[in-house]
Amino acid sequence: FHPSNRSVMGFEPNYDESKIPEYTLPDPLVTQSGSPVTTAEQWNTVRRPELLALFEKHVYGVSPPPCPIRRKHVSSKTVFDGLATRTEIDVLFGSADDATSMRMMVYVPKQRAGAVPAFLGLNFQGNHGVDDDPEIELNPGWFRVGRDGTTDGNKANEKSRGATASRWPLQMILKRGYAVATIYYGDIDPDFDDGFNNGIHGTLGDQVAHVAPESRWGSIAAWAYGLSRGLDCLEAETDLGIDAAKVAVLGHSRLGKTALWAGATDPRFAMVISNNSGCGGAALSRRAIGETVGRINEAFPHWFCDQFTEYNENEDACPVDQHELIALAAPRPIYVASATEDQWADPKGEFLAAAAADPVYRLLGTDGMGGDAPPAKMPAAEQPINSGVVGYHLRTGKHAVTDYDWQQYLDFADRHMKDGR
């Protein structure tokens, strides 16, 4: 996203805290009919399903039921001087002849005692953008026009090889004993508004025909659906050496929104990580600071379901807010990360959302953000809150994924996904 685009549609973002409208957050521990939720059982059987259905209906849209996948091995190779095995697998959605397929690229450390935990995340610029090995096929699909000469029209070119490598410090992750799996998000659903025809919207779309049109899955839901099918693949590929019960789903920005929705809808994900996910991700919509619901729906009409446009400049009317999305991951560990120069994504709103999810985590018997209560104040930059199961940090710098972010995720994962810790 380019800052100069922010006013393209006459939208001037507010960055002034004093101009935030007064708001009351919906209480995750009170049902729509007003009953307090005081036990884990009430959460699991009543409130959690209710919130999931509300997010489907009002925000992300309803996705089809899981389809069976088919898997085709493409390649397997030892990489990074013997550090890891890289395997590429095409995953097909369903059994139809015209099934959409996504290519998953998986790195597993060679040195391991048993099956290892893994990170699974979508990427923006193709698997060939994650690492510049020329043996990784240049993804032939549709790409957003790159700012840095990495595309010709809507096709990736040779310059895009390794273009997002800084976001994927593969060797650092592998050396810490984790596997990494990634998929180009455009394989699942190309990121433009085409009336929900291309990608899995087209090939699986008839399965949501019974859903009211305004509440059918948008692109974020489609990408999250792809992440779940990616997890199906990791579960089936037992020879890879990955412990599929310990897979953290992670994502940056729009793909951070996607990781949160995947973690909410698919409880098999053992951990959820949101990197700079902002509006429609970890940030509270009701704060209406930086990017707003109205702005995001106007700029990206295909990301959410149409019902979400009802809350343009009208956030209070939405029955849910994003702290409840975070709560839907409970009691599983979740980590929310912000960056100081990413005010568009409202770092403070991301922190407040994590803190407002804390009571649900505590009701479910965890220590939430740690200590006796969530911190009342947002932490300073580089002061991660990571003693509990809800982690948060603010990093100095721009909208990005850096080694610092990864170090926090790895430390957090060590605490929650490694045996004997």
**What's the token pair of residue 88?**
């590429």
If one asks whether residue 254 binds ligand GCU (CB under 6 A), the answer comes out as yes
- Contacting ligand GCU within 336-365 (CB under 6 A): 344
The answer to whether 297 contacts ligand GCU (rule: CB under 6 A) is no
Which one, 119 or 124, has the nearer CB to ligand GCU?
124
Q: What length is written for the chain?
A: 421
CB atoms closer than 10 angstroms to residue 359: 19
DSSP string, 243-306: EEEEEEEEEETHHHHHHHHHHHH-TT-SEEEEES--BTTTB-GGG--SS-HHHHHHH-TTTS-G
- Mark out the alpha helices in 184-253 (DSSP H runs): 185-188, 199-204, 219-236
Nearest-approach distance from CB 272 to ligand GCU, in angstroms:
16
Alpha-carbon distances, residue 69 vs 110, 166, 234 (angstroms): 27, 31, 11
User: Minimum Å distance from CB 257 to ligand GCU?
Assistant: 7
To ligand GCU, the closest distance from the beta carbon of 276 in angstroms equals 7
Between 244 and 272, CB nearer to ligand GCU: 272
Nearer to ligand GCU, 254 or 348 (CB): 254
Decide: 393 and 385 in contact? Cβ < 8 Å.
yes
Residue 296 CB, nearest distance to ligand GCU (Å)?
5
- Cα torsion for 267, 273, 276, 278, to the nearest 10°? 20
Give the nearer residue to ligand GCU in terms of CB position, either 278 or 391. Answer: 278
C-alpha closest to that of 333 among 246, 402, 257: 246
Pick the catalytic residue from 253, 274, 285, 338. 253
Residues in contact with ligand GCU, counted by CB under 6 A, come to a total of 9
Report the residue number, 79 or 299, with the smaller CB distance to ligand GCU: 299
What is the C-alpha separation between 186 and 125, in angstroms, rounded? Answer: 9
Name which position in 187, 266, 291, 346 contacts ligand GCU (CB under 6 A): 291
Q: CB neighbours of 241 closer than 8 A, spacing ≥ 6?
A: 85, 108, 112, 115, 116, 179
Active site residue 215: no
For ligand GCU, the binding residues in 182-201 under the rule CB under 6 A are none
Distance between CA atoms of residues 405 and 409, nearest Å:
6
Single-letter code of the amino acid located at 26: P
Which amino acid does the sequence have at 375? Answer: P
Specify whether 253 is catalytic: yes
CA distances (Å), origin 368, targets 25, 138, 282, 362, 365: 19, 42, 16, 6, 9
189 three-state secondary structure: coil
Report the first-to-last Cα separation within the chain, whole angstroms.
40
Is 278 a residue that touches ligand GCU (CB under 6 A)? yes
Write the Ramachandran bin of 79: left for phi over 0, alpha for psi from -120 to 50, otherwise beta. Answer: beta
Site for ligand GCU in 211-240 (CB under 6 A): none
* Nearest distance in Å: CB 314, ligand GCU: 18
**Closest approach of Cβ 164 to ligand GCU, in Å?**
12
Name which position in 160, 253, 285, 402 contacts ligand GCU (CB under 6 A). Answer: 253
167 binds ligand GCU (CB under 6 A): no
The answer to whether residue 1 forms part of the interface with ligand GCU (CB under 6 A) is yes
Tell me if 326 contacts ligand GCU by CB under 6 A: no
Choices 78-86, 113-121, 151-159, 291-299 (CB under 6 A): range interacting with ligand GCU: 291-299
SS (H, E, C) 312-338: CCCHHHCCCCHHHHHHCCCCCCEEEEE
Q: Taking the complex as a whole, how short is the minimal distance between the CB of residue 345 and ligand GCU, in angstroms? A: 6
C-beta of 219 vs 386, nearer to ligand GCU: 219
CB atoms within 10 A of CB 81: 7
| Nearest distance from C-beta of residue 337 to ligand GCU, angstroms | 13
Instruction: Pick the catalytic residue from 201, 323, 393, 399.
Output: 399
Contact flag: residue 89 with ligand GCU (CB under 6 A): no
Residues that bind ligand GCU (CB under 6 A): 1, 253-254, 278-279, 291, 296, 299, 344
Residues marked active site are found at 253, 399
